[in-house]
Each structure stands twice: as structure tokens, then as C-alpha cells.
Amino acid sequence: MISDPTEFSRAVMPHSRKMFAIAYRLLQRTDEAEDVVQDIFVKLWQMRQKLPPTGQLEAFVLTATRNLCIDRIRSRHETASDEDGQWTEESFDDDWVEDTDRLKLTLQLMKQLPGDQQKVLHLKVFEDLTNDEISELLKLKPDNVRQLLSRARRRLKELAQKQGVI
């Protein structure tokens, strides 16, 4: 149990660089990443009596950072608006998937993909991981990741065409 500011700083501050790295990688904005880290520090201070033991604190802090970033990304999607509402075959790529007006439909279509394709596409588009990071995370060869992504995009496109979306 952490009770004083010095103890809190010693326990939490060493994780700040990793927190910022995660936030920046997900948000791609320095100021927003800094805000996320600051917000996490405030939340951690408010719940300092309930924080996990030091050995589990890093995972807890980094997960909290990632989750807050995902919340902010979702918030961006909810407030964005579709410019012209037109869906074309050429626009069917990662940007298509990220468009807020199509996000719900995309998630429904993704549920129809085979498990591995669904995981790889989710990590690529929503978690913004590189192919190498996906490969490492899922213990797959880089060529397999590229192939799964290609198949997932092709199948997603087919499903969207079947529903008359594109």
C-alpha cells in the first residue's frame, strides 16, 4: 500500500518513459501522449491505496495507459464525421476500417473472418502494430502475418461487396 508522495513517485515514476512510448505509439501526438501519462498519474494517485504490489505495478500501469489511449481513439472516432458518405472500392483499406461511420459495420464484418485473420487485422488496424510486432506477439513468421493480413483484407472486401457496401 502506497501512502505518501515520495513512495508513490519511487513506485510509479520509473514507468513514465514506457507509458509515454505506448501513448505516443498509439496516439501519434506528443501533446496527447503527455496528457495521457499525466491523467494516468492522477488516477494512480487517487487510487494509491489500492495499487497492486510493486512486482505487478508495471503491467498495471502500462495496461491502464494503453486502455486510456484506446478510449481516446474511440472518442475521436465518435466525434469525427464522414465527409461525403461515398464508399468506393479504392477507399477500402486501413483508412476505410478506421472511418467512424463504417467502424460498426467493419467490426461486424470482422467477426465473420477466421480467428487468425481477425486477430492479425485487429492488431494491425486498431492496435497500430507493425507486421514484425504482430509476428512476435502471435509467434508467427513475418510472411504468415503478411499473408493473413492480405487474406483478411480480401475477405473483408468480399463481405462488404456481398452486403452492397462497396
pTM given for the model: 0.48
| Domain architecture of the chain: domains with CATH | 5-79 (1.10.1740.10), 89-162 (1.10.10.10)
End-to-end CA gap in the chain: 55
- The answer to whether 50 and 7 are in contact (CB under 8 A) is no
Could you write out the DSSP letters of every residue in 59-119? HHHHHHHHHHHHHHHHHHHHH---SS----GGG-SHHHHH-HHHHHHHHHHHTTS-HHHHH
User: What pLDDT tens digit does each residue of the chain (166 aa) get?
Assistant: 677 888 888 888 999 999 999 998 888 889 999 999 999 999 998 888 888 887 788 888 998 998 898 888 877 665 543 444 444 444 445 544 444 445 677 778 888 999 899 889 888 877 778 888 888 888 999 999 999 999 999 998 898 888 876 6
Q: How far apart are CA 144 and CA 114, in angstroms?
A: 14
Longest CA span, the chain: 60
